[in-house]
Amino acid sequence: MNIIEEEINKPTVFKNESKLSADFIPNELPHRKKELQRMAQVFKILLQSPGSASRNVIMTGPVGSGKTAVVKRFTNMLKESSLKRLINLKTVHVNCRKNRTPFMILKTIVRYFDPAIPKRGFSTEELLNILSEYLEDTGTFLLLTLDEFEYLIDENHNLLYGLIRLMDDKLNPVQRLYLILITKDISFREVLDESTLSTLQQNFIRLAKYNSEQLRDILNQRVLLAFYDGVVLEDSISLIADIAAESGDARYALELLWNAGKIADASNVLQIVPEFVRDAKSKTIPVIRIDLIEELSLHQKLLLLAITRILKHDEKAFVTTSELESHYQLICEEFDVEPLKHTKNWQNIKVLKEFGIITSRVSGPGYRGKTTLIGLPDAPAEELGGEIERQILRRIEEHARKIRT
């Protein structure tokens, strides 16, 4: 008996699992047509009269409301139309959570044009100039998307000012840069100067969170693509839509659907019944995204692990900073890692808060003196703790392997 063969030949509810993956974007996006039309209105000038005027869009909306999907779908269509008209348009999508600084972002953009560009040795200013010269010399138009812009670390807004300078029609007779900013947090606008703001604020598109009916349409579309006919019960779809409607998050809805399918397969049942959805709900961590945790530094993870352990063990809603620090010391010992000093820990706590992974507030009555209380907004401490532990162990193992070889 060959277990691998058996596994491969096992009956499954999935016809094509990849249609549920995070990077699959369907051709039609239910309930986002108006927004796509709005973008077409803004950017059509790029096809009708390339270079005559610059355009930009700020897109905002809550988690899983389709910001990235809408923009990627749109840029693909624009690219298609530009090819048909022999317009030299490049579309570049940069994620600011993965490229946190102006330097990294510009390097990523310039790499699209010249993969051979050296890793080091350029200032942001120089990279901006290289980009501008490249566009000029080759007659290229660039539609640049900066996604998850809220993660950019750029106190003086050098990147934004630099890019806007490239979009200044007094400086550039031919407009080569078109910009889309995607962000959950629009407060960055508060600190920009008047003229930058007036350039940037031309078009503001806000996506609302999805309601239950809308989520049902999104789910139904994927059910047709990803599952065999009739395996997903109507009631199960409604249940998923209702659960996810609380946050209005389409990603969460699709994850629940996928997990429910996995549970059906594991139970050798060729139907996704509501019970599997409920089971999936208890196994899916909402709000906190695993990929976000993966990108944390080792000590940020150790701190987070300490928080989850205290919360789980004491069944409390909050952790004080002194509790946290002493527990963090213990965990460092457990994993044989040198603990960081207080100020560093404090910075790391700030990062975790900025990412929305933890909440913190100053204590009120019932606590002696003022102390900071740290909590987890939504994720169950136990699941989160388990996930972090796995990641830390993996990382320590990798490190040990590197040392050995």
Ligand X SMILES: Nc1ncnc2c1ncn2[C@@H]1O[C@H](COP(=O)(O)OP(=O)(O)OP(=O)(O)O)[C@@H](O)[C@H]1O
Query: Interface residues with ligand X (CB under 6 A)?
Result: 22, 25-26, 29-32, 61, 63-69, 148, 184, 218, 250-251, 254
Cα–Cα distance for residue pair 267/401, rounded to 1 Å: 37
The C-alpha atoms of residue 199 and residue 164 are separated, in whole angstroms, by 8
In the complex with ligand X, which residue's Cβ is closer, 67 or 301?
67
Q: Tokens representing 368?
A: 């002696």
> How far apart are CB 253 and ligand X at their closest, in Å?
7
In the complex, the smallest distance separating the C-beta of residue 149 from Mg ion, rounded to whole angstroms, is 10
Q: Which does 386 bind (CB under 5 to 8 A by kind): Mg ion, ligand X, none?
A: none
Closest CB to Mg ion among 134 and 355? 355
DSSP 107-161: HHHHHHH-TT--SSS--HHHHHHHHHHHHHHHT-EEEEEEESGGG---TT-HHHH
Q: Which of Mg ion, ligand X, none does 254 bind, CB closer than 5 to 8 A by kind? A: ligand X
DSSP label of 205: E
Residue 379 Cβ vs ligand X, minimum distance, rounded to whole Å: 15
Partner whose footprint covers residue 304, from ligand X, Mg ion, none (CB < 5 to 8 Å by kind): none
Taking the complex as a whole, how short is the minimal distance between the CB of residue 68 and Mg ion, in angstroms?
3
**What strands lie across the sheet with 141-147, from one edge to the other?**
89-95, 141-147, 177-183, 56-60, 204-206
Rounded Cα gap, residues 340 and 319, in angstroms:
19
CA distances from 125 to 101, 107, 130, 402 (A): 13, 11, 9, 36
Residue 277 C-beta: closest distance to ligand X, Å: 17
Residues that bind Mg ion (CB under 5 A): 67-68
- Cβ nearer to Mg ion, comparing 95 with 172: 95
132 or 183: CB nearest ligand X: 183
63 binds, among ligand X, Mg ion, none (CB under 5 to 8 A by kind): ligand X
Kindly tell me which of 32 and 67 has the beta carbon lying closer to Mg ion.
67
Are 193 and 205 within 8 A, CB to CB? Answer: no
